[in-house]
Every structure is written in structure tokens, then in C-alpha cells.
A and B are shown apart, each in its own frame.
Chain A
Amino acid sequence: MSNAELIGQDPGWVIALKGVIIFAACVFLTIMSVWGERRIVARMQQRSGPNRVGKFGLLQALVDGVKLALKEDLIPKTADRIVFVLAPIISTTACFMAFAVIPLTGEVNFFGHQTAMQLTDLSVGVLYVLAIASVGVYGIVLAGWSSGSTYPLLGGLRSSAQVISYEVAMGLSLVAVFIYSGSMSTSEIVAAQDRWWYAVILFPSFIIYAISMVGETNRAPFDLAEAEGELVGGFHTEYSSLKFALFFLSEYVNIIAVSALATTLFLGGYRALPGLGFTEQWLGGWFTLVWFFIKVLAFFFVFVWLRGTLPRLRYDQFMKFGWKVLIPFSLAWIMIVSILRVMSQRESSNFLVVAFIFSVALIYIGITSLTDRAKVKTAIASKVINSKEPDFPVPEIPNSRAEQLNG
């Protein structure tokens, strides 16, 4: 019986209870991940991180939440009051909603009822997640706009431009997964990975997804939306107290959500690591929950690691990377994947497959050598500009230097 049929038989109380459990798990995971992030980043910087409140500072995030709740809730005079209040709510709700289609376990006994730990199994589950993520952008852009002040507006615009651009790359990276699994339902994609994870077969897609999910969540090194040095706090500059807490919460829920989606689509979801398949039957199937969270937390660790290692990108470099590198690359990759897929479905001869791969490699070499030539040409051209020195003192020509820096 497939997950969709299994979940379809859930009575109302099971659905309600699952909803509550998933929500609670999200909130708990967020609080723990705030603590985890601070501890890990601290260790990466040879500090010890929060260690005061509770054992190992475990309650730090909880206490921070209480502190935020007790703070004065300001609404600026120039703010659009309704939208200002609505924005964080939209942002948070959207993040949580993505979790509805993520399968957390296989078939389990849920208080005497056979079901899977997944709230609902839409046949277009992944599309639903992408759509919900886009709704989350509204939260950001409305927050920036309704604050009635400059920095939030700029931050909101940046942020929405960023999320939208990287959503394109993200969506494209998922296409290869759809082609291979033949489904958009999350549980079926997990089921389709029982032999090989898509992170292995579709490695380039996985890399593109991994990069774009960092861009999508506004996280370092792509956290230009809240570049403190330039934009104060970005879109949430004017927010305080619980409304700020909601944005904070949504950022972390978002990280967990994209990590969960990555786990589901590329790392075999709740399935055990290869060779440890027998563990899936432990605790009546509930042990798969552990596998799921191990994978999600591994992604989370990568997020923290990125933050601890990389400096923030400049805005134009970031956009250039998204539109001129990620998107063309994933388009080309989709073409290759779909052709290979069709070939394998029609059972083409091995010779044809090899010939195709060879021709792709040839085209790649051709294109790169052409761009190398173009680079040499522009380098020569910029030298020509440099040689024309006026006989009066001028500051250094920024263009030629910038070109040399960026290539």
C-alpha cells in the first residue's frame, strides 16, 4: 500500500494529532537549532558559545524567546499598521506549511492506527512546497515595504529578488528528480530512491539545490538581505518583540524545511543509510524518524559550517552567480538528464549513450575555450585603455581594475 493510500485512511483525530506533533517538532527543532548553531559557530571561532542557561546553555534559545516576548512592541508611525502586523504572520505560517508534505517515517503504528508520519501526501507535493516558499517571500517583501523606512525597504527588495532568483535555480534542480522518479509526490520520490540516492545519481542537481537552498533561506554567505554593515538589519529593522521573534523563528524553520526537502528528494528521506536497512524495522518503524532527523541535522550543520567559514557575497556577484551560472548550468543539465532518460527508456544501444556523453563533453570543451579566448581579448582591450594616460592627474580608472579583479 502506498503512503498516499495509507494516509488517505486517517481518521480526523489522527490528522489533528499529527499536525500538532509536526508543529511542535518544528518549534522544538528550531529552538534547539538556534542553540546548536550558536554553539557550533562558537566552536569554529574557538569560543564556547552560550553555556549559562541550563546544562550546556540548552535553554538559551527558550530564554531569549521569553526576553523577546517581554520587550516593547514598537510599530513605527510611518508604518502601514495592518500589513506590518500581517507580514511576520505570513512569513511564519508559510514556513510551517511546507512541513505538511514531508514524510518523516515509513509505515508505523500511530496509537493503534497504521499510518505514515506525514500530514498529507499530495501528488504534486514538491510543487506545493515551492509554491509555499514563494508565499513566504510575501512576508519579507511586505515587511520591508510596510515598515515605512528606507533600510527595510531596500532589505526587503534585495531579499525578495534573491529568493525569487534562487527559487528558479531550485525549481530547475528539482526537475531532474521529477524526471527520474516520475512523480512529484514526496513519498513516491523517497520510495524511488530505495536503490540509489538521487544525491549520487543526480549529483549536479544536488549541488545546485544545495547552493540555491542557502540563497533561498537568506543565509550566510548569501545573507545580503540583512547585511548589517549596509542595511542595519534588512527587512526586519523596524520589528521588535514578538513580531521579530516570528521572523527569527521563520528563518530557522525555513532552514529546517529546505533541509528536510533536500533530505527527502536527494538523500532518501527517512530511509536508513545504505547497508543499514535492517534498522528501518526497529521500534515498529519509528526508528526511521531518527534517520530522517540525522540527515536533516547534517544539512543544518552544513548551513552553520558555511556561516562559520565564508564571508558575505557582494550583491551583484550573488545575482550574477544565480542567473549567469546556476540557471544556465541547471538548464543544460536538465537537457542532458532528460536525453539520457529517454535513451534508457527506449533501451538505446550503449554506443549511442557513449556517443552522446562524448559529444556533450566536446561541446563543453568548445564553449570553455571560446570564453577563455574572450577573456584574453578583454584583457588585451583593457590594457589598451590603460595605456592612454592623460597628462593631468586623475584617480585610478576603476573599470579596468574591477575587470581584472572579476575576470
Chain B
Amino acid sequence: MADELVPRSDEFGLAKSDAAKVPITNHESSSLGKQLLGFWVTFKTMFKKVNTVQYPEVKEPTAERFHGRHQLNRHPDGLEKCIGCELCAWACPADAIYVEGADNKEGEQFSPGERYGKVYQINYLRCIFCGLCIEACPTRALTMTNEYELADDTRAKLIFEKDDLLGPLRAGMVPPPHPMYPNTDDGNYYRGEVTGSHPSQGIAKND
């Protein structure tokens, strides 16, 4: 046990007994002139260009992989990728995500396969934007956008529902619920073999 209590002796590459003998002198502060140099630094800085970004008028792009608001993605034919597995909710350290899954029914298919996320809520008062939910998601349904302007004035508005989180319908997508692409199963979807919608699925968005 005594070994564990021995303090670190190689702090400066010196033995402990040597370290105690080395006088601590701050050579930078040795002369008054050098100390007064700081005043010149601040004075000089006054005439430099300021770094401030005038935020609401000027918006700088975030870093490419900035953790912003979440998004629920869609397959290329418009079906939702979320399968309501709740892994994101389990991964969340802040307990910010609430998911309720439900079965896809005949004529009421939201996602490929058996299940879809019926209720999907993220509470942005709790979310810490750590991205563990994104790592947990098995279908890459949940990703993060670069959107950071999430302030609001009531608590209720900061609980985002599924409608708020779902990604937009792009060209060629059919708004769910609609059946899966003919002659495919969920495996085809996950392997990326479905690249667009089929006319039998419904009227696709075309812009």
C-alpha cells in the first residue's frame, strides 16, 4: 500500500530532491520594462480589426459536422427510415428522446419492414447534442443537421414532434403511408437498392 502513496518524482524530469532545490524564477517578469509591455499589447490591440461576427445579420457557416438539430431521414421513395426500435432513446444520456413504435399495417405502411416510429419526440430542453443517438441508430434514420437556432419562449415549443423532425420530401418521393416498392423487402431498402419511387406507390413529388 505504501508504494501507492509515493508522490510523482519525475515531474520536471528531475528527482524529487533536485526539484526542491531549483529556485523558481520567472524570467519574463524580471524587469519592469517587460511587465509594462503588456500595456502596449492591449493598446495595440485596440486598433486591430475586431473578430466579432455581427450574428443576426451575418451568419457564419458552422463546422461541417457540427451537432445541430436532429433530422429523421427518408428512403428515396419517401418511406421513413425510422423503425421505432428506441435504441436512440436508450442511448440518450439526457433522457431527451421519447419513441413509441407501432406495426406497419396493410395499406398503412410508413417504413419498410414490420415496424415504424409512431411517436417520436426530442426534448431540446434536455438534449445535450452529444450525438450518441446518431451512433445508436441502426438504420441511419436519425442524423444531425447544422441548424443551431433553437431558442424559443415556451417549453412546449422546444419538444419537437415527428413532423418537426422529419426530413423534407425530395423530388421522386411519395409521402407515406404507401406500400413498399414492388417486389422488394426491407433488405433491399437497407442495401440501397431502392433508388426512387414506383408509380404504383402513389404520386411522386416532382420538382
Q: Is the CB of B46 within 8 A of A40?
A: yes
Closest to A379 in B: B23
Q: Which residues of the other chain, B, contact A395 by a CB distance below 8 angstroms?
A: 7
CA distance A395 to B43 in the complex (A): 43
Closest to A41 in B: B42
Pick from A46, A310, A386: contact of B51, CB under 8 Å: A46
CA distance A42 to B51 in the complex (A): 10
Q: Does A309 contact B (CB under 8 A)?
A: yes
Q: Is the CB of B45 within 8 A of A310?
A: no
Q: Which residues of the other chain, A, contact B41 by a CB distance below 8 angstroms?
A: 309
CA distance A232 to B55 in the complex (A): 30
Q: Does A405 contact B (CB under 8 A)?
A: yes
Given A44-B46, A48-B50, the answer on whether A401 and B5 have CB atoms closer than 8 Å is no
CA distance A344 to B46 in the complex (A): 46
Q: Is the CB of A396 within 8 A of B20?
A: yes
Q: Is the CB of B38 within 8 A of A405?
A: no
Q: Which residues of the other chain, B, contact A47 by a CB distance below 8 angstroms?
A: 50-52
Q: Is the CB of B42 within 8 A of A46?
A: no
Q: Is the CB of A404 within 8 A of B24?
A: yes
CA distance A308 to B39 in the complex (A): 9
Q: Is the CB of A46 within 8 A of B39?
A: no
Given A47-B51, A48-B50, A405-B24, the answer on whether A305 and B42 have CB atoms closer than 8 Å is yes
How many chain B residues have a CB neighbour from A under 8 Å?
23
How many chain A residues have a CB neighbour from B under 8 Å?
25
Given A40-B46, A386-B20, A386-B21, the answer on whether A48 and B6 have CB atoms closer than 8 Å is no
Given A44-B45, A305-B43, the answer on whether A393 and B20 have CB atoms closer than 8 Å is no
Task: Output the least CB separation between A207 and chain B (Å).
Answer: 13
The residues in A between 353 and 400 inclusive whose CB is less than 8 angstroms from any CB of B are 379, 383, 386-387, 389, 393, 395-397, 400
Q: Which residues of the other chain, B, contact A393 by a CB distance below 8 angstroms?
A: 5-7
Q: Which residues of the other chain, B, contact A401 by a CB distance below 8 angstroms?
A: 24
Q: Is the CB of B5 within 8 A of A309?
A: no
| Count of inter-chain pairs, beta carbons less than 8 A | 51
What does the 1/0 interface line of A297-314 toward B look like (CB < 8 Å)?
000000001001110000
Q: Is the CB of A46 within 8 A of B50?
A: yes
Q: Which residues of the other chain, A, contact B48 by a CB distance below 8 angstroms?
A: 46
Q: Does A338 contact B (CB under 8 A)?
A: no
Q: Does B200 contact A (CB under 8 A)?
A: no
Q: Which residues of the other chain, B, contact A309 by a CB distance below 8 angstroms?
A: 38-39, 41-42
Task: Output the least CB separation between B35 and chain A (Å).
Answer: 9
Q: Which residues of the other chain, B, contact A397 by a CB distance below 8 angstroms?
A: 20
Q: Is the CB of B52 within 8 A of A48?
A: yes
Q: Does B17 contact A (CB under 8 A)?
A: yes
The residues in A between 271 and 290 inclusive whose CB is less than 8 angstroms from any CB of B are none
Q: Which residues of the other chain, B, contact A44 by a CB distance below 8 angstroms?
A: 42-43, 45-46
Q: Is the CB of A389 within 8 A of B17?
A: yes
CA distance A58 to B129 in the complex (A): 37
Task: Output the least CB separation between A395 and chain B (Å).
Answer: 7
CA distance A220 to B172 in the complex (A): 65
Q: Does A43 contact B (CB under 8 A)?
A: yes
Closest to B46 in A: A43
Q: Does A2 contact B (CB under 8 A)?
A: no
The residues in B between 49 and 102 inclusive whose CB is less than 8 angstroms from any CB of A are 49-52, 54
Closest to B41 in A: A309
Task: Output the least CB separation between A92 and chain B (Å).
Answer: 31
Q: Is the CB of B20 within 8 A of A310?
A: no
The residues in A between 167 and 198 inclusive whose CB is less than 8 angstroms from any CB of B are none
Q: Which residues of the other chain, A, contact B43 by a CB distance below 8 angstroms?
A: 44, 305
Q: Does A45 contact B (CB under 8 A)?
A: yes
Task: Output the least CB separation between A390 and chain B (Å).
Answer: 11
What is the interface of chain B, defined by CB distance below 8 A to chain A? 5-7, 17, 19-21, 23-25, 38-39, 41-43, 45-46, 48-52, 54
A sample of 10 more A-B contacts (CB under 8 A), given A43-B45, A309-B41, A379-B23, is A45-B45, A46-B45, A47-B50, A48-B50, A305-B39, A387-B21, A389-B20, A395-B7, A396-B7, A396-B19
Could you show 21 A-B contacts with beta carbons less than 8 Å apart? Answer: A40-B46, A42-B50, A43-B45, A44-B43, A46-B45, A46-B50, A46-B51, A47-B50, A48-B54, A305-B39, A305-B42, A309-B38, A309-B41, A310-B38, A379-B23, A393-B7, A396-B7, A396-B20, A397-B20, A404-B24, A404-B25
The 7 closest A-B pairs by CB, nearest first: A44-B42, A43-B46, A48-B52, A48-B50, A309-B42, A308-B42, A386-B20
